[in-house]
Amino acid sequence: MPISCRNVSSGAGRSGTGSPASAHALGMLAGVALDAVLADPRRGHPVALFGRAAAALEKRLYGDARADGAVHVALCVGSAALLGAVAGRVRHPLARGAVSAVATWSVLGGTTLGREGAAMAAFLEAGDLAGARGRLPHLCGRDPSRLEEPELARATVESIAENTSDAVVAPLLWGAVAGVPGLLAYRAVNTLDAMIGHRNARYARFGWAAARLDDVANAVPAQITGLLTVLAAPLAGGSSRRAAAVLRRDGHRHPSPNAGRCEAAFAGALDVTLGGTNVYGSRVEHRPEMGDGPKPSVRDIRRSVRLARAVGFAAAGLAVLVALRAGERRPA
């Protein structure tokens, strides 16, 4: 009686150190380490190259209709996933781990996020409002020209909270469940949302598909980010009980349900109040407040960076466990 492939792969080939799942999991850990050491390069970053390609394709496909935007998203995300699928087919464990490491590094932004937060804190601690206003666009799209220190601090903390999910937790979880294609496809989705997922005259319809797909891709990661933030709250001098209470009470009040869960959890963990009036060019948004404490101060920026770093490390550990578990369930 011939031996089936399933029987052969159920031993060390699947769960041992040389299995595809183990190689991918270890590669993701190596990618997290690379991000911690190298952060994002100033030139030639893969995400920037993708952005330029997506912008060039937009010029050829743009039309003021949802269908045109859907085609654009399908081509961009499909190409990223296909590239990941081709790259992920290497069989040698070292080569597979190396591919996973490079892919993970290329889609993570946790270290750069922390550095931008620290830079904002340094400017505000020195009383350099002009420097802080000039730096804020690195974190979010708000108009910083009239923001004073309290609003600059709030914008920074809110951006760190939301981007902890978008730039760290979500790509790691997608990489854990869908391998290298999941890493690259998620980053493509999130990048397109940042580029065209806006509610303005040009992108209200063309960017609709990008915005909705980003909402779907981040639904579960945002919830996990909220839970990890609750658990990590004591590391930032906060209370897990208070963070859980604010998350449960206020997490759904944000215009974006995904961002709301992240920001509410951070508000509770840091014991501050987030939300309020935000100005994006000519558009003004009035967002409900989340949390029970005072508005964030400069010191809360550094606490938020510490909290985000702890959430990122926890997400990396969770992603490795999920990747190994998914590899055990996946047929060889």
| Beta-carbon count within 10 A of 212 CB | 16
pLDDT tens for the chain, residues 1 to 332: 444 333 333 344 444 456 888 999 999 999 999 999 999 887 878 999 999 999 999 999 999 999 999 999 999 999 999 999 999 899 899 999 999 999 999 999 999 999 999 999 999 999 999 999 999 999 998 999 999 999 999 999 999 999 999 999 999 999 999 999 999 999 999 999 999 998 889 999 999 999 999 999 999 999 999 999 999 999 999 999 999 999 999 999 888 889 999 999 999 999 999 999 888 877 788 889 999 999 999 999 999 999 999 999 999 999 999 999 877 666 55
Give me the pLDDT at residue 12, please: 40
pLDDT at 331: 56
The pLDDT of residue 14 is 46
Q: Using the structure block, give the residue that is written with the tokens 């591919």.
A: 99
Check residue 288 and report its DSSP letter: P
Token reading at 64: 């003021």
As given in the structure block, the two tokens for residue 45 are 């970053």
> What gap in Å lies between CA 109 and CA 34, rounded to an integer?
11
Give pLDDT, residue 18: 61
Q: What's the pLDDT score for residue 1?
A: 40
Write down the pTM of the prediction.
0.90
Please give, one letter per residue, the 3-state secondary structure of 105-145: HHHCCHHHHHHHHHHHHHHHHCCCHHHHHHHHHHCCCCCCC
pLDDT at 330: 60
